[in-house]
Amino acid sequence: MKILLPFLLVFIIVLSFFNAQITNPFKEDFQGKHVTNFQQEYKESQIEIGMVGDVLLHSPLYEYSSFLPSFQEVEKEMQGVDFLLANQESIPAGTSFGLSGFPNFSSPAHIVRDLKAAGVDLLSCANNHTLDQKEAGLLAAIESMKANEMPYMGAYKSLEDQQTDRIFEVKDVRLGFLNYTYGLNGHRIPEGKEYLVNIIDREQMKQDIQALEEKVDVVVMSIHWGEEYALRNNETQKELAQWLADAGVDIIFGHHPHVVQPYEKISTSKGDTHVFYSLGNFFSAQQFDSTNIGGIARLQITKRVVQDKVMIRIENPSFIGTIVSKGEPFKVSLLEEANSQKNDWVQQHVFGE
From the list 88, 75, 145, the residue with the least C-alpha distance to 113 is 145
Distance CA 307, CA 53 (A): 39
Task: Determine the pLDDT at residue 308.
Answer: 79
Q: Is residue 145 part of a domain?
A: yes
Q: Which residues contact 241 (CB under 8 A, 6 or more apart)?
A: 233, 252, 264, 266, 273, 275, 277
Q: Mean pLDDT lowest for which of 2-11, 77-86, 197-206, 261-270? A: 2-11
Task: Determine the pLDDT at residue 42.
Answer: 84
Of all residues in the chain, what percent carry a pLDDT higher than 90? 86
**Mean pLDDT over each residue of the chain, to the nearest integer:** 91
Q: Is residue 26 part of a domain?
A: no
Helix 202-213 to helix 235-247 angle, to the nearest 10 degrees?
A: 40
Omega before 60 cis (within 30°)?
yes
Q: Is residue 2 part of a domain?
A: no
Total count of domains within the chain: 1
**Predicted TM-score (pTM) of this structure:** 0.89
Task: Determine the pLDDT at residue 21.
Answer: 45
Cβ burial, residue 216 (10 Å; 0-12/13-18/19+): buried
Task: Determine the pLDDT at residue 6.
Answer: 47
**67 has pLDDT over 50:** yes
Residue 316: left (phi > 0), alpha (psi -120 to 50), or beta?
left
Task: Determine the pLDDT at residue 35.
Answer: 53
Q: Is residue 1 part of a domain?
A: no
Task: Determine the pLDDT at residue 14.
Answer: 43
Give 25's Cβ-side CA count (13 Å radius). Answer: 17
Give the DSSP letter string of 194-261. Answer: GGGB-B--HHHHHHHHHHHHTT-SEEEEEEE-S-TT-SS--HHHHHHHHHHHHHT--EEEEESSSSB-
**CATH assignment at residue 300:** 3.60.21.10
Q: pLDDT class for 173, splitting at 50, 70, 90? A: very high
**322 has pLDDT over 50:** yes
Q: pLDDT class for 162, splitting at 50, 70, 90? A: very high
Q: What is the mean pLDDT of residues 234-250?
A: 98
Burial of 149-186, coded b for 16+ CB within 10 Å and e otherwise, reads ebebbbbbbeeeebeeebebebeebebbbbbbbbebee
Task: Determine the pLDDT at residue 41.
Answer: 76
Q: Is residue 73 part of a domain?
A: yes
Q: Is residue 92 part of a domain?
A: yes
Angle at 308 between CA 303 and CA 312, to 5 degrees: 20
Q: Is residue 8 part of a domain?
A: no
Distance CA 54, CA 256 (A): 7
Q: pLDDT class for 270, splitting at 50, 70, 90? A: confident
At 195, the amino acid letter reads: Y
Task: Determine the pLDDT at residue 28.
Answer: 43
Full residue range of the structural domain in which residue 90 is found: 31-351
Q: What is the mean pLDDT of residues 84-111?
A: 97
Q: Are strands 309-325 and 33-36 parallel, antiparallel or unpaired?
A: antiparallel
Q: What is the mean pLDDT of residues 100-121?
A: 97
Q: Is residue 12 part of a domain?
A: no
